[in-house]
Structure 1
Amino acid sequence: MSEYHYTESGLHNIWLASGYEIVETSYGSGVAIHDVAGLHRAIGETLAKKAWITGAELRFLRKEMDLSQRALGELLGTADQAVAKWEKTGRVPKTADRMIRLIYLEHIGGNVPIRSTIERISNTDHAEHARMTAEESENGWRIAA
């Protein structure tokens, strides 16, 4: 079986050597891909560990996290139009690139609820943090509520 050019991911450099089959349907020939979620996770993990990501790769990671451009912009503290520009031009600022990859890896890893934490941070009014009171206990320091 020859390799299948998997453009359905939105990425033009993905080829499948296995894990798919050509099927005949009433509409003609089609492709059935086994474990699409697993495939997308493998692609996403590889992208997130690269030196930098392209605009198309940013779009892939964003969609895998089920985030709109607006939601990702809010997480990163920028406008949705900036995210759209990065995806279109392929030029993703280094800080955004690193944060997006970190968010994706934590999102799929399930180790830290980073997405909910960042959403909470992005929605917090800075004025609410004008004063913090620290208390020392036998377990160490903590910030009082």
Structure 2
Amino acid sequence: MSYHYKASGLDNIVLVNGYRIEQDPDYGELVHIEDIHGLHRAIARRLISMPRPLTGAEFRFLRTCLDMSQPALALSLGSTEQNIRNWEVKGRTVPVANQPADRLLRVLVLARLFADESVGEFLDQLAGGNTGPDEPLELQHARDVWLSAA
């Protein structure tokens, strides 16, 4: 017996094990899923590795895995909240229309959930925009490598 995990917001998630179903006299059927965070990470890993564009529902799932609001994700992707909303809702069953946003979201998920936090920090820095005049970029040469002097 398997369980169709609809609470993810995705139509194609089926659990073969790792869950149990109980009947509660007040609330009816209750489903307990072992390690829900691990399950969501496994779903996210699968989504970001698919070669086709993300659907709107998949885009939304990944955003929620990052615990980001639509405005926060828009800032990180260099987009608008309206675009995020459109990709998630209007594109619910069709691929997200913006390929760069699709790819950048995948990189953001990879950085924040699975790998190197510096990529996520870098994207956050870019989201800050231009906050003032450019400062001189001071460089120094040490051990046959050029480095920032700051």
Tell me, yes or no, whether TM beats 0.5. yes
Shift of 1:89: 2.3
Q: What corresponds to 2:85 in structure 1?
A: 84
SS in 1 for 2:103: helix
Tell me how far apart the structure 2 counterparts of residues 68 and 92 of structure 1 sit (CA, whole Å).
20
> Residue 39 in 1 paired to residue 39 in 2?
yes
Aligned with 2:104 (options 99, 104, 118): 99
Deviations 1:45-82 (A, max 9, x none): 00000112111001000000000110011001111111
With normalisation by structure 2, the TM-score equals 0.87
Q: What corresponds to 2:18 in structure 1?
A: 19
Tell me how far apart the structure 2 counterparts of residues 87 and 33 of structure 1 sit (CA, whole Å).
26
With normalisation by structure 1, the TM-score equals 0.89
Shift of 1:22: 1.0
* RMSD across aligned positions (CA): 1.7
Which amino acid is the alignment partner of residue 143 of structure 2? E
Tell me how far apart the structure 2 counterparts of residues 20 and 92 of structure 1 sit (CA, whole Å).
35
Shift of 1:142: 1.7
SS in 1 for 2:50: coil
- Runs of 4+ residues over 4 Å off in structure 1: none
> Residue 140 in 1 paired to residue 145 in 2?
yes
Alignment of 1:68-79 (within 5 A): 68-79=69-80
- 128-137 vs 74-83, greater mean Cα deviation: 128-137
Unaligned 5+ segments in structure 1 are none
Identity across the alignment (%)? 35
How many residue pairs match? The answer is 144
Shift of 1:130: 6.1
Unaligned 5+ segments in structure 2 are none
